[in-house]
Amino acid sequence: MALDGKIAIVTGGAQGIGLAIARRFLQDGASVMLADINDAQGAAAVKELSPLGKVRFSSTDVSSRLDVHNLVAGTIEAFGDVDILVNNAGIVHTADFLDLNEDDFDRVLRVNLKGSFLCGQAVARYMVKKIKDGGNAGSIVNMSSINAVVGLPEQIAYSVSKGGVSQLTKVMALSLAPYGIRVNAIGPGSIKTQMLDTVNSDMAAKQRILSRTPLGRVGEPSEIAAVAAFLASDDASYITGQTIYADGGRLP
């Protein structure tokens, strides 16, 4: 199996795309630490996924340096190593540019961009030390969005944060390439999760998405998980610094 014996951290792993990634990683042979701010959902996810392999939950706010430190330390304590990080935790806020307030802008940037930085740096520092001691290299996968390039006027902070995630991916990849650590991102289109329901609650919005998506349907979380599994695996051994769009053909 592609991820046999690997140890992965999946942030925002309690539901949606993160949960699907955790499921796929377990099916591919990895052990998984789910990291999420939602403890109840995290416990339910562990219960659901346990039959597939070794899975644990760490109560983590990715925007807190202390929580992130505890997440990495807790994963090493539980599983003995970290080979893969998926920076998937994210939030969205809907407001036009002229109405968006400072607190909401900060909140979205803190979770989506700073959270990816904090987790990425903490895991990369551990990986670099391990590699210097003769250990194996690892892979980091960030969760961007097509909004990183198209930019939605009603989701200013979100679009900015995801543009930042794609650029963070590029610079992390350049910094970590000398160690053999690969860093890539996924840019999903519209994927069937609670986040999509929150943002596009009415029928007209759903129709708008479908009319802009050449494949004529929204994506399944498992279709993003398949991309994450590929990027995390040795099959992607010559790919780093890229954002791979999985969007049903939506980007030109």
User: Which residues are identified as catalytic?
Assistant: 158
| Nearest-approach distance from CB 15 to ligand NAI, in angstroms | 4
Q: Could you count the other beta carbons within 10 Å of the beta carbon of residue 60?
A: 28
Residue 219 in 3-state DSSP?
Answer: strand
- Asked whether position 61 contacts ligand NAI by CB under 6 A, the answer is yes
Residue 138, φ and ψ in degrees, nearest 5: -135, -175
- Asked whether position 119 contacts ligand NAI by CB under 6 A, the answer is no
H-type alpha helices, 133-202: 156-176, 194-199
Among 16, 74, 164, 248, binds ligand NAI (CB under 6 A): 16
Q: Are 37 and 89 in contact (CB under 8 A)?
A: yes
Cβ distance to ligand NAI smaller for residue 18 or 128: 18
Strands 182-188 and 139-143: parallel
Cβ distance to ligand NAI smaller for residue 74 or 188: 188
- Asked whether position 145 contacts ligand NAI by CB under 6 A, the answer is yes
- Asked whether position 140 contacts ligand NAI by CB under 6 A, the answer is no
- Distance (Å, rounded) from C-alpha 50 to C-alpha 237? 29
Among 74-82, 86-94, 95-103, 130-138, which window interacts with ligand NAI (CB under 6 A)? 86-94
Q: Are 224 and 20 in contact (CB under 8 A)?
A: yes
- Asked whether position 127 contacts ligand NAI by CB under 6 A, the answer is no
Strands 55-59 and 84-87: unpaired
- Asked whether position 142 contacts ligand NAI by CB under 6 A, the answer is no
Contact residues: ligand NAI, CB under 6 A: 11-12, 14-18, 36-38, 41, 60-63, 88-91, 111, 115, 143, 145, 188, 190-191, 193-196
